[in-house]
Amino acid sequence: MSSGAGTSASAGPPAGSRWSWLWLLAGGLLGATLLTLLGVPAGAIVGAVLGSAVVSIRGARLRAVPPSTRIVGLVLLGCAAGVRLEPDSLLMLAKLAVPLVGAVVVLLALNVGLALLLTKRYQVDPITAMFACAPGGLSEIGSLAETYGARVGVVVAVHVVRVILVVVLLLPILLVALGH
């Protein structure tokens, strides 16, 4: 994972040191706290993304956040979701199976269509185009893309931009549209 380059921070862990990624975490914590205190809906996730993105772009040679950070976050989030998992949720998911699978098939058809467009019109190689447009998780698609010889940097860049666009731009719009 890449981090930012630019001006060095004046205090705290020196740039490039083992613990310099803590600046990113501090930026995320500050952003999340600020937007939560301001009462922004979903302020914690939006603020954390914005805060660490600002540090990443402005920070000098910061160490990448350890991969275990996301794993710890997902386990904590999984626990929070698990205590809400009622039999009704499972029943609902079972009832949703057909329309949900149908919706995913539509997304995959769009994936193929976009990959063909990118290949024919923009001269992107087909494997890179396919993985860049795949509606999957960043880590899973990234590792699959590497296996298939796609340009991983481009694939990861498109997926990172997608996730950030959704969290920072689309999420606030959806929250207003959905009445939150």
* Alpha-carbon gap, residue 156 to 160, rounded angstroms: 6
Nearer to another protein, 15 or 48 (CB): 48
Nearer to another protein, 14 or 140 (CB): 140
Helix, strand and coil percent figures for the chain, each rounded to 5: 70, 0, 30
Q: In angstroms, what is the minimal distance from the CB of 137 to another protein?
A: 6
Residue with tokens 């490039």, as numbered in its chain: 16
Q: In angstroms, what is the minimal distance from the CB of 11 to another protein?
A: 20
**C-alpha dihedral (52, 21, 152, 166), degrees to nearest 10:** -20
Contact assessment for residue 141 and residue 158, using Cβ atoms and an 8 Å cutoff: no
Q: In angstroms, what is the minimal distance from the CB of 35 to another protein?
A: 10
Contact assessment for residue 41 and residue 175, using Cβ atoms and an 8 Å cutoff: yes
Q: In angstroms, what is the minimal distance from the CB of 157 to another protein?
A: 4
Nearer to another protein, 14 or 73 (CB): 73
Nearer to another protein, 16 or 92 (CB): 92
